[in-house]
Amino acid sequence: MTPVALKPLRVACIGMGWWSDVLADAIQRSGKLEIAACYTRSEEKRRAFAAKYRCKAAPSYEAILEDRAIEAIVNTTPNDAHLETTRAAAAAGKHVFLDKPIANTVSEGRAITEVCRKAGVVLALGYQRRRESHFRWVRERIDAGAFGRLVNAEANISRDRLGKIDLSSWRYTAQGMPGGVMLQIGIHYADVLEYLLGPINAVSGRFAQLVLPGICTTACGSWNAGAGVQLRFRARRTMPLSKSSRSLPRPRAGKANPKWTASAPRCRLR
Complete domains list, the chain, with CATH: 9-126 (3.40.50.720), 149-247 (3.30.360.10)
Q: Which residues 6+ apart lie within 8 Å of 149 measured at CB? A: 227
150 contacts 227 by C-beta, under 8 angstroms: yes
The string of pLDDT tens digits covering residues 28-63 is 999 999 999 999 999 999 999 999 999 999 999 999
90 contacts 115 by C-beta, under 8 angstroms: yes
pLDDT surpassing 60 at residue 173: yes
For the segment 5-11, the average pLDDT, to the nearest whole number, is: 89
Host H or E run for residue 234: strand 230-238
234 contacts 218 by C-beta, under 8 angstroms: yes
pLDDT > 70: percent of the chain:
67
> Residue 18, Cβ neighbours under 10 Å: how many?
7
Residue 88 gets which letter from DSSP?
H
pTM for the full predicted model: 0.74
Q: Identity (one letter) of the amino acid at 174?
A: A
Given pLDDT bands bounded at 50, 70 and 90, which one contains residue 90?
Answer: very high
Residue 26 buriedness (CB in 10 A; 0-12 / 13-18 / 19+) = exposed
CA nearest to 113, candidates 98, 128, 129:
98
Q: Which residues 6+ apart lie within 8 Å of 248 measured at CB? A: 165, 167, 213
Given pLDDT bands bounded at 50, 70 and 90, which one contains residue 184?
Answer: confident
Q: What is the pLDDT at residue 37?
A: 98
